[in-house]
Amino acid sequence: MIADIAKGAAVLFVAAIVQVTLLSQIDVFYGAPDLVLVTLVAVALLRGTIFGAAAGFGAGLVVDTATLQTLGVSSLLLTIAGYWIGRYGETTGRDRSHAPFVSVAVVTLLYSLGALILHYMLGDPASASRVLLDAFPFELIFNLILTLPVYALCRRLFRPPPTGLEEVRLLG
């Protein structure tokens, strides 16, 4: 468990640093890949709700600190995203091959909506059309492209927990 926490912290820290220094500069109609979100989805799918929520909270803090943005905004959104995807992984999604892609697509949309609402509530100038019409399609495409390598890497780092199937397998 401690090894998992260390690996999760390292992976998300690197993802956050790469995100704020490199990937944010990719700008296609305001859309940019979100490596932190994709990595969080992969980790949460493999390790469940508690791990996902805690990882999302920590990654959000790093992002908000590195970019000097309002502390807690990314943490709140990523905590919810991590919990929700962890829940999906624990119940139905973990063993399905399409689960990472579906999760990333849905979370990208919900994250954009949540961020829009949160920034609107904080009084930031937030353009819904820019976020949802201009940026979202390209962000979704970028995130889906990142999903396969990131999920493969996380799957190697975080082996799926034992399912108990070995004990109930019927012979004959």
Partner 1 sequence: MAGVLVLFSIALITIYFRESSGGGLHQVQSVGATVLRPFEVAADRVSRPFRDAYGYFAGLVHAKSENGRLRRDLDKWRQEATQNAYAASEKTDLLKKLHFVNSRSFPGGFGFVGADIISQPPTAFAQQVVIAAGSASGIRKFDPVVTGEGLVGTVVRVTHKQSLVALLIDDTTSVVALDVKTRAQGIVKAGSSFDHVGKDQRVEAGDKLVTAGWKLGGLSSIYPPGIPIGQVTAVGQNDVDLYKHVKLQPFADFKTLSSVLVLIPKNR
Positions in the binding site for partner 1 (CB under 8 A): 13, 17-25, 27, 30-32, 34, 36, 49-50, 53-54, 56-57, 60-73, 75-76, 79-80, 82-83, 115-116, 119, 122, 124-127, 130-131, 134-135
Interior/surface letters 52-89, b for 16+ CB within 10 angstroms, e for the rest: bbbbbbbbbbbbbeeeeeeeebbbbbbbbbbbbbbbbb
Residue 14 CB, shortest distance to partner 1, in Å, is 9
| Residue of 93, 1, 3 whose CA lies nearest to 44 | 93
Q: Where are the alpha helices (DSSP H) in the chain?
A: 2-21, 35-47, 49-66, 73-88, 99-121, 128, 136-157, 165-168
Complex with partner 1: residue 30 or 155, whichever CB lies closer: 30
Residue 26 CB, shortest distance to partner 1, in Å, is 9
Residue 118 CB, shortest distance to partner 1, in Å, is 8
Complex with partner 1: residue 90 or 155, whichever CB lies closer: 90
Residue 52 CB, shortest distance to partner 1, in Å, is 8
